[in-house]
Amino acid sequence: MEPHPDHTLGHLQDISNELVDFFDYLIEIYDSEELSLLYKELRLALASKDFDGFFARLNSILASVSYAISKQKEGHLHSNIHVILKMLGFDIQSEETTNLGRIDAVIRFTNIVYIFEFKNGKAKEALAQIEEKKYYEKFILDNKEIIGVGVGFGEKGIKKFEVKPFVTIQPL
């Protein structure tokens, strides 16, 4: 027995209405004038691979924390960065596991996956760990560009960073 044409049209109209509501909701969230300017700046910097701008803004936030309450430990700065980016709406996951270890942080965009590794003072060592433990392999099947970011912490913030693309998207 075939469905009645009015039922099919009604069902399609319901789906259409739900999609319109969903898109209105997305526009409200992501295109709102109330969104933090800092969020927009950080997101644009990272999406456009402007690492100098991204880390300059993060360092500015970290510099606003009084020395009386800040710690010099790698984990403390890592957790501060995680909380800052999570509260600003980034899709960040800390301590993501692979078959060879734990990635300090992963940030996902529609077409890019950033793999962050943090070390006290040693950005080069952080980047080497991403390569040595092949953290990028976990994301190859996602068919996205994969960029490793080694971050070296200084006394109270980000001292240095190094960036290396591991996988670039190949045109079809």
Within-domain flag for 101: yes
What does the alpha-carbon distance between residue 46 and residue 43 come to, in Å, rounded to a whole number?
Answer: 5
- 119 within domain boundaries: yes
Cα gap 90→41, rounded to integer Å = 12
The reply to whether 77 falls in a domain is yes
Sign (positive or negative) of CA dihedral 10, 16, 19, 21: negative
CATH of the domain at 153: 3.40.1350
For the stretch 54-107, pLDDT in tens is 999 888 888 877 766 666 676 777 888 888 888 778 889 999 999 999 999 999
Contacts 24+ apart (CB under 8 A), 41-46: 42/85, 42/88, 42/90, 43/88, 43/89, 43/90, 46/107, 46/109, 46/114
Residue 13 lies in a domain: no
- The pLDDT confidence band at residue 167, using thresholds 50, 70 and 90, is confident
Domain assignment present for residue 8? The answer is: no
Residue 93 lies in a domain: yes
pLDDT tens profile 128-147: 999 999 999 999 999 999 99
Residue 152 domain boundaries: 37-167
Q: For residue 59, is it within any domain?
A: yes
Place of tokens 């993060």: 58
How many domains does the structure of the chain reveal?
Answer: 1
